[in-house]
Amino acid sequence: MHPHKHALISLCATAVALALTGCGTSDSPGKDTDSETSTSTGATTDAPTDTGSVTESGPASCGDGVQDAGEECDDGADNGADRPCTPKCTKVACGDGFQGPGEGCDDGNTNDGDSCTSACQAPGCGDGVVSVGEECDDMNIDNSDGCLNSCQLASCGDGYVFNGTEPCDDGDDDNSDGCLDTCEVAQCGDGFVRDSFESCDDGDGDNGNECLNNCQVARCGDGFVQDGVEACDDGNEIDNDACKNDCSAPASCVDGEQNGGESDVDCGGLHCFGCLDEQICESNLDCMSSYCHESLCVSPRHCRDVRDLGLETEDGVYSIDPDGQDGPLPPTQVFCEMTFNGGGWQAVYNMMDKPIGEAAAQVMLDSLMNNGPAAPVLPNSNSPAVLTEGLNLGDFTEVVFGWAPTSNSDVARYGRLESPTGLAGVCYLDGFCGEGVEVGEFDIVPTGNTRLLRTGDGDDFPHVGLGYDEQIMLWGYDRQASIFSNWANWNDQGTCCKAGNIEAIEVPGWRYTIYVR
């Protein structure tokens, strides 16, 4: 409503009360209408001087203190840009362009990138809004995530460890402490010398230069040869081993000195050839013979030496030198029977079970009539000959012609011949002596008898092996043998026929053998 109309209504009400007359626009008698009207309207029109500026921003009646239609509020003279009711007679609200109560600013827009945020607050780090000068704003004070509490993005060198990304961050570019300027934990091999921990660090992993890969300065005795500086470096301070303790040229196996780990002068150890007999040794490896006995190298001449010197105790193949290291014959390997009858026996012949028949007998006879070079004779083998060539039979005083029930078993039944002067010339061992020739007196086990035995008689061929009387074969084959078998296995009691045997000879798996000791 226009303000002049409000004035007229007020004047009419006053006139009714005083004069009980109607009120209008006509002048009363004796009155100066123009003057009265001027005075009335002058007072009325002069009053809204303040509201002249208000009506420019809001409705025409905004600021009269009455909330008219279209107004959210009207506090009259209390309207203001910083009051609950704005000069536009609207309730103060963020974004209306007026900085009302509780607002830090109000620029009338929702742009968070300017000087006033859409929440009508001055931009600041930690408000969750990325403002001018900020790289990020995550509304927390955690400096271990991607946004620092300074609203800058986390980066290597900011002094804060970014979890899951940086192992360390000490905020400096010093690479001699525990954290590199790459935010990696310092370690040996990174190419930077860490104070108080590393002597050097060349980062190359090469132990042949002046800095080892444990980040210590190379020195003589560290176990690594420094190229161009050291001739050797074995990591110890022993002067007579493979490298002198000044890391000079290594010891030689021909320098006439006991050095370089040698057990004796220029022999033994890891680098030189084995020592000869009677030279000092520390282990079997130091000896050419492969045997060290009481710190001296020895060469056993036969299996009895192997036993007597305590070099070995188990059945097996061992090296012997029948004529010693000074002899012309080279060392050879033989099978030593170390668990049978006191041990020290050397196997020179073995034949596995054969079928009954003259062909099988001939095979055995052919092998017994020939001698071959000494070689290992295994319990499960068939010897092509009696392997005694190269042995000094004068060194042996005992021979056993035996029978065993299987290839794995020790000899169970045998005849033993002893000759104190040696076995040279004994038939079969030192060549075949012919048919029906006496070999010698044998002690027979297990019967306990002693019998003079001879080779088979050619008149009753094929009598092969050893027998007595009318060609009773105790070890070998007889064509006219008992009902059990034509093969004999040292039975000289109660024999019915020409082969001395027991029923066990029929069981597959037996063997004939010859041992010397």
Percent of the chain with pLDDT over 70: 87
The model's pLDDT over 148-202, given as tens digits with 9 standing for 90+, comes to: 999 999 999 999 999 999 999 999 999 999 999 999 999 999 999 999 999 999 9
Is residue 45 domain-shared with residue 55, that is, in the same domain? no
Residues 81 and 45 in one domain: no
The SS3 call for residue 172 is coil
CB atoms under 10 Å from CB of 474, counted, come to 29
Answer whether residue 125 is part of any domain.
no
* Residue 13 scores a pLDDT above 60: no
Tell me, yes or no, whether 249 lies in a domain. no
Calculate mean pLDDT across residues 414-434: 96
For residue 153, give the 3-state DSSP assignment.
strand
Residue 489 lies in a domain: yes
Long-range contacts of 172-176 (CB under 8 A, 24+ apart): none
Decide if 348 contacts 514 (C-beta within 8 A).
Answer: yes
- Token pair 């597959």 in the structure block, residue: 508
Domain shared by 438 and 468, yes or no: yes
- Beta strands, E only, 312-449: 316-320, 332-337, 345-352, 371-373, 386-389, 398-404, 413-418, 438-445
Look at 222-231, 265-274, 405-414, 473-482 and tell me which has the smallest mean pLDDT: 473-482
C-beta of residue 495 within 8 angstroms of C-beta of residue 488? no
* Domain identity same for 490 and 419: yes
* pLDDT at residue 301 tops 90: yes
When pLDDT is cut at 50, 70 and 90, the band that residue 249 belongs to is confident
More confident residue, 49 or 483: 483
- pLDDT at residue 188, rounded to an integer: 96
**Can you read off the two tokens belonging to residue 477?**
């084959």
* Per-residue model confidence (pLDDT) at position 278: 95
Q: What is the pTM of this model?
A: 0.55
Lowest mean pLDDT among 203-212, 246-255, 359-368, 478-487: 478-487
Together in a domain, 326 and 371: yes
Among candidate residues 37, 61, 91, the one where a domain is terminated:
91
The answer to whether residue 68 is domain-embedded is yes
Q: What is the pLDDT of residues 64-114, one digit of tens each?
A: 989 898 899 989 999 888 899 999 999 988 988 888 888 888 888 888 778
- Number of domains within the chain: 3
Please tell me whether residue 489 adopts helix, strand or coil conformation: strand
**Residue 356 belongs to a domain:** yes
Higher pLDDT, 402 or 77: 402
Q: Considering the chain, what percentage of its residues have pLDDT values greater than 90?
A: 61
Is 429 part of a structural domain of the chain?
yes
Q: Is the same domain home to 1 and 63?
A: no
Give the Cα separation of 66 and 257 in Å (integer): 125
User: Do 413 and 449 share a domain, yes or no?
Assistant: yes
Is residue 223 a part of any domain in this protein? no
CA distances from 428 to 199, 283, 365, 439 (A): 78, 39, 10, 9
- Residue-wise pLDDT for 328-343, tens only, equals 988 999 999 999 999 9
Reference 293, options 301, 302, 303, 280; nearest CA is: 280
474, 454 Cβ separation under 8 angstroms: no
Q: Give the residue with greater pLDDT, 243 vs 464.
A: 464
Same domain as 40, residue 25? yes
User: Does residue 261 lie in a domain region?
Assistant: no
Write the CA distances from 331 to 45, 316, 378, integer angstroms.
145, 16, 18
Backbone Cα Rg of the chain? 62
Say what the pLDDT of residue 482 is: 61
Q: Select the highest-mean-pLDDT range: 13-17, 52-56, 69-73, 491-495.
A: 69-73
Amino acid 483: pLDDT? 61
Tokens representing 135 are 């790289």
Which secondary structure element, helix H or strand E, spans residue 454, and what is its range?
strand 450-455
* Whether residues 410 and 488 fall in one domain: yes
Same domain, 30 and 69: no
Asked if the model's pLDDT at residue 485 lies above 50, the reply is yes
Same domain, 419 and 497: yes
Q: Which residue has the higher pLDDT, 491 or 495?
A: 491
Per-residue confidence (pLDDT) for residue 437, from 0 to 100: 93
pLDDT, position 47: 40
| Domain boundaries, position 8 | 1-49
